[in-house]
Amino acid sequence: MDFTFTEEQQAAVEAAEAVFADVVPDSVPSPALTAGAVADDFDRPLWRKLADTDLLSLLIAPEYGGAGLDPIALCLVLRESARVLARVPLLENSAAAFAVQTYATDTLCADVLPRAGRGELVITVAAEGRTGHDPAELAVTAHRDGPEWILDGLQTAVPWAQSADRVLVPAHTGDGTAVLALIPRLRDGVRLHDQVSTNGERHAEVHLDSVRARTDEVITDPRAWEWLRNVLTTGTCALALGLGQAVLAMTSAYTAKREQFGFPVATFQAVAVQAADRYIDLRAMEATLWQAAWRISTDANGALPPAGDVAVAKIWASEGVRRVVQTAQHLHGGFGADTDYSLHRYHAWAKQLELSLGPAAAHEETLGDLLAAHPLG
């Protein structure tokens, strides 16, 4: 069994490291000191760099100008982006483009994928539903009206919706099946209400009032939404891993130079034990992440459907990243609360990632349902 990453995947990591090398977490105002969003838009110069290095087209097939890689490669790049709190919709744009490529018509693929890979078309995903707790597809209804579809409802906490060109919206039909509609942000009937996320980024509540979508803009394959949700959740786990690794490195560097009683605090047993526990959390987050990414990339058989591995990964990501940042704050002492130091930014992002696409408890419930439906022999 070979657990190493492929040359192409490793090349993606190297490219990502080069792009993110100059990104600093404190390039925008602190979310702790800002009443609204820390910025009106995402980091456009960084977005341009990602496009120029082909990191926006990782998952897009070569016939549309992409590299044709898999979600594992995307997760590797997302891990690097989270180390510096990169303010770009890389996960949403990449996952949406991949869903279009996998399940949409050739017409929509030809229209969307080349431009998305070049960074000219920005796509976000409405994945949180009406409240962030209920299934997202139940928040919007979709029914046919001749050659078109009509969508009604709302989705909350849509990342960077005000800056996106299109929003990929899950909806449910009269017979209960889920569809995905790729809606232009400026289409008649689409209204955005500003929201601010825990980490200070600009989100939106997206209202759909009798919004019309062409047939080719709607993905009707019943597998598409669950597949997209798995990719988004796994990508969120990759972001949590990268953030946690960066925070543990910050904590290690700080405790190695901070002295008490004439010795670095890192040499104290209580400090070392807490740091070791968090290292174990990160290793568990890493193992479950790559298991989930491998399942959705290869469609390999398992005792449970891929959603089971994704649920386990998100449980570890949510719990693990919370423990990592809490321990980091504790070991930094008062310095950890200094808004001139970047640790508090990582704490805010960690809380956002912990709850995005469901906290640990929600995925424990999902895992329980899957175990009940697929008894292990």
pLDDT of 76 reads 98
Q: Are 326 and 103 in contact (CB under 8 A)?
A: no
In this prediction, residue 332 has a pLDDT band, given cuts at 50, 70 and 90, of very high
Whether the per-residue pLDDT at 321 is higher than 80: the answer is: yes
pLDDT of 377 reads 63
Report pLDDT digits (tens) over 165-221.
999 999 999 898 999 999 999 999 999 999 999 999 999 999 999 999 999 999 999
The Cα-based distances of 322 to 281, 287, 329 in angstroms read: 10, 17, 11
Specify the pTM.
0.96
Report pLDDT digits (tens) over 79-123.
999 999 999 999 999 999 999 999 999 999 999 999 999 999 999
DSSP of 32-72: TS-SS-S-SS--HHHHHHHHHTT-SSTTS-GGGTS----HH
Average pLDDT for residues 232-252, to the nearest whole number? 97
In this prediction, residue 31 has a pLDDT band, given cuts at 50, 70 and 90, of very high
Task: Provide the total of helices (H) and of strands (E) in the chain, helices listed first.
Answer: 10, 10
